[in-house]
Amino acid sequence: MRKYFSSILILICVVSASVKAQKVGAPFGVNLAGAEFGKIGTDHYGYPTSAELDYFKSKGLTLFRLPFKWERLQPELNGALDAKEIKSMKTFVDEAAKRDLLVILDMHNYARRHVGDSTHIINNGVITAAQVADAWKKIAMEFKSYKNIWAYGLMNEPYNMPSKNAWFDIAQVIINSVRKVDTKTPILVGGDFWSSASRWQELSGHLKDLKDPGNSLIFEAHVYFDEDASGSYKRSYEEEKAHINVGVDRVKPFVAWLKANNKRGFVGEFGIPD
């Protein structure tokens, strides 16, 4: 989402009928925001609780997308992962496992990293693809033995990248790095331009050429229902020109692309106003 999470964002898997690797009846779930919040060096963030897992499980949801901030998990580029953060993440994953629930680890960085008071796009002069790949390799080392990790979400909503192939190139480097230590866990690749479902074919269609040595990529799109598709919902239903099928219409280009290219897909965010 461009500016912020809605309080609850629903996940739904959209899988091409021709793909046999995905079980019939894919899981539904929610994004549990919190660990990606706050300024680095402060305590203004938190991990989801067991009570939240219990509540959403009682509603029939079984998949939980856990956003986290790269800078907090790996304070120094190419350095060790922060022991406190890893412990918190593992506690959440363990609690989910006790309840037979699945987890997506979602690096919620928009293809960027904060360095001091500045924010830098990956592979654009300061932060390299190799550095984010190093982080993901270390994350995979920590979590590859967990049976309830549904997927590694490489990057939430890349946007305003310096070239059409910029995100493709970064994603391929990360995929290669992860597969050196974990060949089995599925990898979620978000689309460019905020992972737009409606504009997927024109802006993210080339992601079909990504290569995965583990042969387990899932492509992630996002969709919101207000006029500018930002999810900010600033105006009334009529002013936003909403209609009952707006979500369906906006996701159709993504689903058509999945079917045409025999790919697996996932809608990782959609939301409604409070």
Let me know if 227 is a catalytic residue: no
Q: Name the active-site residue from 85, 95, 220, 269.
A: 269
Let me know if 269 is a catalytic residue: yes
Please state, in angstroms and rounded to a whole number, the distance separating the CA atoms of residues 7 and 184: 32
Residue where the block lists tokens 């006790």: 98
How many CB atoms are located within 10 Å of the residue 214 CB?
Answer: 14
List Cα–Cα distances, 269 to 9, 16, 43, 130, 226, in angstroms.
6, 18, 26, 27, 14
Q: Name the active-site residue from 85, 95, 157, 220.
A: 157
**Could you tell me whether strands 118-121 and 149-153 are parallel, antiparallel, or unpaired per DSSP bridges?**
unpaired
Rounded to 5°, angle at Cα 35 from 143 and 147: 20
Residues marked as catalytic: 157, 269
